[in-house]
Copies of this chain bind each other. A is one copy, B any other.
Amino acid sequence: MKRLAAYTAYIEEHLQKVRVPKKPDLLYDPFRYSLTIGGKRIRPMLTLLSAEMFGIDREKALPQALSVEVFHNFTLIHDDIMDEAPLRRNKVTIHEKWNTNIGILSGDAMLIEAFKLLSDIDPAQLPEALALFNQTAIEVCKGQQFDMDFEAREDVSVHEYIEMIRLKTSVLLGSALRLGAIVAGASEEDKQAVYLFGQHIGIAFQIQDDILDLYADPEKFGKQIGGDIIANKKTLLYLIAVNKASKNQYAILRRLRDVEDLEMKIARTRELFDHLKVREACQAHMEGHFEMAKQALEHVSVPKEKKEILVGLAEFLMKREN
């Protein structure tokens, strides 16, 4: 979407201007590197679009938009250490490019910088914005811990999984929108509505991630298909499969985890998933959250045409193929 691309460019431009000291190099070089790796900048875009929807210039919510993006990048740095991820968006991760200590400390600095950016706000709005940010930040940590806990558990329910992704990724999208609404002085009902919109979009987005990992068009996906199966990740696909599987099918699923021929591992798992109609069940979850998101947005008390760009963004996210 061309209109959205202009927002990404605007955010990029201002992220480069975030005033970062030069020294110590090893604290701030990774900081800058992290902010140049790119991405769609969805979160800060949500803050700006929300502020505009409620009738103020996007500039007014810019520090909060940048704050959300810097916070998001802090979580990526620390998560990549915890997951021992060598790459992020095809670039070397910070703990690989430098080392783990540098990753920990520059991540800490980014978290603090996020608070600093957030504070650049009308003092009357600071208590509310900060309370939201504190709550969101701690929820994101909880989500990450649940995610790590789940790796060691065999009995994760679909409900627990959705709650985990809600905490780990979706509350930040909700808060990004809510921050824009706070700066714009929106009503409590409207603030709650955009928060829910963001949260459901976030959950739908995350479920779609799980689906795409196995069912994307390989030509458009840009990554290896079936990466989650290779890594034995407990995605929603897997959890729904476990739920629907007979005792016998469950035993097969478990055995497939140890298969060393990766092509066969992916093919056999996918066959079983297809047989159990796992993809359709995931799709239904995703569409349910997408519907709830749209409903929440309908409750926002601004003219319909002012919501169009957010609806467009949501649809763009839902239709993505990578």
Please report A residues at the B interface, Cβ cutoff 8 Å.
Answer: 21, 23-24, 26-27, 78, 81-82, 100-101, 104-105, 107-109, 111-113, 115-116, 119, 123-124, 126-127, 130-131, 134, 137-138, 141-142, 144-146, 148-149
Report B-chain residues with C-beta under 8 Å of the C-beta of A127.
Answer: 119, 123, 126
Taking a contact as CB atoms closer than 8 A, the residue among B81, B111, B119 that contacts A130 in the complex is B119
Report B-chain residues with C-beta under 8 Å of the C-beta of A82.
Answer: 101, 104-105
Do residues A145 and B104 form an inter-chain contact, with CB atoms below 8 A? Answer: no
Report B-chain residues with C-beta under 8 Å of the C-beta of A126.
Answer: 123, 126-127, 130
Could you give 22 example pairs across A and B, Cβ below 8 Å? A24-B145, A26-B145, A27-B141, A78-B105, A81-B101, A81-B104, A82-B105, A100-B100, A105-B141, A105-B145, A105-B148, A108-B141, A109-B141, A111-B112, A112-B137, A113-B138, A115-B115, A115-B137, A116-B134, A116-B138, A119-B134, A126-B130
Q: How far is the CA of A82 from the CA of B124 in the complex (A)?
A: 39
Taking a contact as CB atoms closer than 8 A, the residue among B111, B113, B131 that contacts A108 in the complex is B111
Output the nearest chain B residue to A139 by Cβ-Cβ distance: B112
Least Cβ–Cβ distance between A221 and chain B, in angstroms: 29
Of listed A24, A107, A123, A126, residue having the most chain B CB within 10 A? A24
Report B-chain residues with C-beta under 8 Å of the C-beta of A104.
Answer: 78, 81-82, 104
Report B-chain residues with C-beta under 8 Å of the C-beta of A21.
Answer: 142
Report B-chain residues with C-beta under 8 Å of the C-beta of A111.
Answer: 108, 111-112
Q: How far is the CA of A23 from the CA of B149 in the complex (A)?
A: 11
Output the nearest chain B residue to A136 by Cβ-Cβ distance: B112
Do residues A119 and B131 form an inter-chain contact, with CB atoms below 8 A? Answer: yes
Output the nearest chain B residue to A128 by Cβ-Cβ distance: B123
Least Cβ–Cβ distance between A144 and chain B, in angstroms: 6
Report B-chain residues with C-beta under 8 Å of the C-beta of A124.
Answer: 123
Given A108-B111, A116-B138, A126-B127, 10 other A-B residues pairs in contact with their CB atoms under 8 A: A24-B145, A81-B104, A82-B105, A104-B104, A108-B108, A108-B141, A112-B138, A115-B130, A126-B126, A130-B130
Q: How far is the CA of A82 from the CA of B100 in the complex (A)?
A: 8
Report B-chain residues with C-beta under 8 Å of the C-beta of A144.
Answer: 105
Report B-chain residues with C-beta under 8 Å of the C-beta of A138.
Answer: 109, 112-113, 116
Least Cβ–Cβ distance between A48 and chain B, in angstroms: 23
Do residues A112 and B130 form an inter-chain contact, with CB atoms below 8 A? Answer: no
Q: How far is the CA of A81 from the CA of B99 in the complex (A)?
A: 13
Q: How far is the CA of A21 from the CA of B145 in the complex (A)?
A: 13
Output the nearest chain B residue to A141 by Cβ-Cβ distance: B109
